[in-house]
Amino acid sequence: MALSVRNLRLEYPGKLLFEGLSLELPNQVMCGIEASVLGGTTSLLKGLAGLIEGITGIIEVNGRDIHSLTGQEQAELVSISYEEAGLISFLTIHQNIVLPLEYHLGKDDAANDARVKMFCEMFELETALLLCFPHDLNDVQIRIVNLIRALIVNPALCLIDELDSGMHEEMIDAAFRGLREFTKNNETTMIITTSQDALLVQMDCAYKIESRKLVEFVDARR
């Protein structure tokens, strides 16, 4: 299993978000989770990435406990694509994208550049933006850059928070074409939160949050 979650519990002071949550996902799966305002999906993704303290239960990625990983193992196994912000302000877009490659894999500049170019083509990001800083980009472009940075190390599990938010249909199509192309050639399993039912039904599996657990999403239009 790429991801195995058992009996997860997440509570903020005064608010219990999840209790007894379980989820099993094999490799190369695109899994959707229905997002709603203050529904807790962002916290769930951060919790699965091991970024929230006080979360209890078992989270295993490729059989490894998420909380026992070193920085490098964590980067190779799990990555997260944020809905907003998530980039380092004083680095250019190119430097932001190659940061995990430079830090963990120490690859040379030529190899990094080639990889960045490939991802820019895959997700239709203008290469001129690579020299810009995060404050020069709009929300949608920042989300695409976050996505590219999350995928660039070929993680076992990629957690993508509301990628489609604010995108028009053509951009959503391009982004999901890129994700399908990536999944075809890599072992990565993805969890994508979205508020669009039309996208959820296109995923390999889809869930929604109900009574602090994940339950299968059923398209109401069917």
Binding site for another protein (CB under 8 A): 46, 49, 51, 70-76, 79-80, 82, 85-90, 99-100, 102-107, 149
Q: Judged by CB, which is closer to another protein: 109, or 124?
A: 109
| Shortest distance, position 49 Cβ to another protein, whole Å | 6
| Shortest distance, position 199 Cβ to another protein, whole Å | 24
Q: CA 49, CA 190: separation in Å to the nearest integer?
A: 12
Q: Judged by CB, which is closer to another protein: 11, or 84?
A: 84
Per-residue HEC secondary structure of 106-155 comes to CCCHHHHHHHHHHHHHHCCCCHHHHHCCHHHCCHHHHHHHHHHHHHCCCC
Q: CA 63, CA 29: separation in Å to the nearest integer?
A: 16
User: Torsions phi, psi of 72, nearest 5?
Assistant: -70, -45
Q: Judged by CB, which is closer to another protein: 31, or 75?
A: 75
Short-list 142, 140, 150, CA closest to 93: 142
Q: Judged by CB, which is closer to another protein: 49, or 179?
A: 49
| Shortest distance, position 157 Cβ to another protein, whole Å | 13
| Shortest distance, position 146 Cβ to another protein, whole Å | 9
